Amino acid sequence: MENRQGFLESHGITFHQSVTFKLFTIGFLVLLLWIPSSMISSLVRERRGTQVAARNEVMSRWSEQQTVRGPFLSIPFKKERIDKETKEVSYEIQTAHFLPNELMISGDVEPHTLKRSIYKIIVYESKLMLSGHFDKPDFSQWNIKPENILWDKAQVSIGLSDPRGIQEQVKFTLDGKQQEFVPGLNEGLAGKKGIHLIQPIDPENFSGEFICDLSVKGSESLMFAPIGKTTTCELKSPWKSPSFVGAFTTTDRQIDESGFNAKWKILHFNRDFPQQWRGDDYSPRNNDFGVNLIVTADDYQKNIRSSKYAILIILLTFLTFFMSEVLDKNRIHPLQYIMVGLAVVIFYLLLLSLSEHAGFNLAYLLSCFAVVVLIFFYSKAFLSKVRTAFILAGLQCVVFGFIYVLLQMEDYALLMGSIGMFSILSVIMIFTRKMDWYKIGK
């Protein structure tokens, strides 16, 4: 062993004095610590998967995300077919679908928070009113004879993505006549699930005025289809962090501490289906709009984003300790580097576990405090100056604070991260620009 040490020293190489050898050692340790940091990233994704499973379980019992499409007026008719050879006339039953000339949707959305284990799931109850009017159905463009129209078998249907969410009997009033919906859809134009009723029509006395009260509960989102020639919608809710989604944006919105009030106005020119068609020629299913009741701070998403900076924090931490070796002539063993690096890795485990109970922001503060204090007292034991330990702890606070600021940004995270890394590199290069690294190595 003594001969080996003498051989290294004769070539100017020792474990504690060779800058080049130490840099290679630090690089190897960073790669080595990549393994536990990657394991923690996998753990975050696993815990998020558990959250999704718990959310799906609650939603399956309460009610899924709701999409309301309707009302549609569907009228069957007999389509004549004449045999070219025998000249015999036969009839085929087809269905024509008519959309409201005007559809007005208004409703109040009352959110609730349900818990499954440690997870919170957002659900809601809503009271909606659908009103408007149909124009008198016009079959002239299809050359359908009046006597072939089956007015007495007309249907009104409303599509619902999850009819289990219906809380009260749904009543529909058309031309002053009130009827109750029954489950199921005979036609698939509004989706696979929903409600319908048989609504005989008197074409001579048809005004088309309708109104429908719909009490429905759901989870996370409430969506609508713009089936009116003019569709207006107004939703109110005490939920403070809505996300307005779908094919159309709001025309007016107000969001404050008391909740939100959002309005939409959509014309038939804005969508990709007409006011009337036959059979399955068109479908209104890809034009939905509405609101998501989201949680502003997705703790698992922030944990995942935070874990991506693990190697960067380890590298910057090792760099500060290495600079203390160079400037203050401290001798830091590779094992001590590993201990400090593991403390940084444990930070992410603490952050994940605490954020599930205390929220991300508080968890980040507590985890940062615990790790910085731990590294300070540990490094104070082997650094030559207590002042150096304080400086290193302060630099660590700056690094953790910088990462926290990046996590709060979404649109400018990449820009600020790039500027921050450039600034850090610039400071290091400025302070070390006149160092004689060969002399330090000797």
In angstroms, the CA 427 to CA 419 distance is 12
> Hey, which bits of 200-327 come out as E strands?
209-219, 221-224, 230-237, 242-246, 252-256, 259-267, 276-278, 289-293
Q: Is the CA virtual torsion 274, 280, 286, 292 positive or negative? A: positive
Contact indicator for 353, 370 with CB cutoff of 8 Å = no
In angstroms, the CA 90 to CA 78 distance is 9
Least Cα distance to 162 among 245, 61, 231, 240 occurs for 61
Distance of CA 127 to the CA centre of its chain: 25
Q: Report strand pairing: 102-116 vs 230-237.
A: parallel
Residue 259, class by beta-carbon neighbours within 10 Å (0-12 exposed, 13-18 middle, 19+ buried)? middle
**Residue 129's pLDDT is what?**
95
CA triplet 48, 55, 37: central angle to 5 degrees? 5
In angstroms, the CA 149 to CA 95 distance is 10
Least Cα distance to 105 among 264, 234, 245, 221 occurs for 234
Q: Residue 245: count other Cβ atoms within 10 Å of its Cβ.
A: 15
**Residue 50's pLDDT is what?**
78
pLDDT string in tens for the chain (442-residue length)? 444 444 444 544 454 456 667 777 877 888 888 888 788 888 888 887 877 787 788 887 888 899 999 899 999 998 877 776 776 777 888 889 999 999 999 999 999 888 777 777 889 999 999 999 999 998 888 888 888 899 999 999 999 999 999 999 999 999 888 889 998 886 667 778 899 999 888 888 888 899 999 999 999 899 999 999 999 999 999 998 898 998 898 999 999 989 999 999 999 988 888 999 988 888 787 889 999 987 655 677 888 888 888 888 888 888 888 887 777 777 788 888 888 888 888 998 898 888 888 888 899 999 999 999 999 998 888 887 888 888 888 888 888 888 888 877 766 777 777 787 788 778 777 777 776 666 655 5
**Residue 16's pLDDT is what?**
45
**Type of residue numbered 82:** I
Cα within 13 Å of Cα(428), Cβ side = 14
Distances (CA, A) of 262 to 104, 238, 251: 14, 12, 8
Helix axes 413-432, 310-328, angle to 10 degrees: 10
Beta bridge partners of 114: 121
Backbone angles phi, psi at 417, to 5 degrees: -65, -40
In angstroms, the CA 266 to CA 105 distance is 12
Q: Report strand pairing: 119-133 vs 182-183.
A: unpaired
Longest dimension (CA), the chain: 114
Beta bridge partners of 166: 216
Provide the token pair at 343.
Answer: 């403390």
pTM of full prediction above 0.85: no
Provide the token pair at 269.
Answer: 């020119």
In angstroms, the CA 368 to CA 374 distance is 10
Structural domains of the chain sorted by starting position, each given as residue range(s) with its CATH number in brackets: 14-51+300-441 (no CATH), 64-295 (2.60.40)
